[in-house]
Amino acid sequence: MAREVIKPGKYVSLTYTISDDQGNLLEQNDIPVNYIHGGETELIGGMDRAVEGKGVGDTVEVTVPPEQGFGEHDPNLTFTDDLDNVPPQFRHVGAEVEMQNESGETRSFIVTRIEDGRLTVDGNHPMAGKTLVVRVKILEVRDATMEDMKPPADGLLN
């Protein structure tokens, strides 16, 4: 039997790690991520092209610049305010705050710093502005079934 390789219409299952360009591990997903190759779901930073033609057991590594990953860091999405103006439930690093602009659009902001009576929130993705090294291990490649056509999980998928 011929080895199944990744091509459009194939069901693919993989695990991955994402590191910064200094080798610091930013994200690790040991629970398989599944998708239909060539469908509406795209992998981050051109990984689609990098895994095409690969099969079970193959490992692929791609360096992803910010513009192909989570974008450049936008300083306009970082705000600092007096701690007294912030509700108590958000007064800790890592707290998630939903904010709404004048157009009614909402965005999640994360408290990134509390210092000298001031609190800073950042609406950028935590990996924005970083060059990423994505390592993928391919676990399964096969023909897609109707069951496989359901929406995928989050993570490496954009």
Instruction: Please say if the pLDDT value at position 36 is more than 50.
Output: yes
Q: pLDDT tens digit string along 45-58? A: 788 889 999 999 99
CA 63 vs. chain centroid, Å, equals 14
Q: pLDDT tens digit string along 84-138? A: 998 999 999 999 989 888 888 888 999 999 999 999 999 999 899 999 999 999 9
Pair of tokens at residue 14: 């993989």
- Per the CB < 8 A criterion, the answer to whether 126 and 93 are in contact is no
Segments making up each domain of the chain, as ranges: 10-70+127-144, 75-122
Q: How far is CA 92 from CA 15, 56, 117, in A?
A: 32, 43, 12
**Exposed e or buried b per residue across 99-131, where buried means at least 16 C-beta atoms within 10 angstroms of its C-beta:** eeeeeeeeeebbbbeeeeeebbbbbbbebbebb
**What does the alpha-carbon distance between residue 114 and residue 133 come to, in Å, rounded to a whole number?**
30
User: What CATH number is given for 75-122 in this structure?
Assistant: 2.40.10.330
Q: For residue 20, which of 74, 58, 66, 60 has the smallest C-alpha distance?
A: 66
**What does the alpha-carbon distance between residue 56 and residue 49 come to, in Å, rounded to a whole number?**
16
* pLDDT for residue 158: 45
At 49, is the secondary structure helix, strand, or coil? helix
Q: Quick one: CA torsion of 76, 110, 20, 158, rounded to 10 degrees? A: -80
Q: What is the DSSP string of 85-126?
A: GS-GGG-STT-EEEEE-TTS-EEEEEEEEEETTEEEEE-S-T
- Average pLDDT on 6-28 reads 94
Pick the CATH number of 10-70+127-144 from 2.40.50.100, 3.10.50.40, 3.40.50.2300, 1.10.3720.10: 3.10.50.40
pLDDT averaged over the chain?
Answer: 89
Q: Quick one: CA torsion of 98, 103, 105, 106, rounded to 10 degrees? A: 0
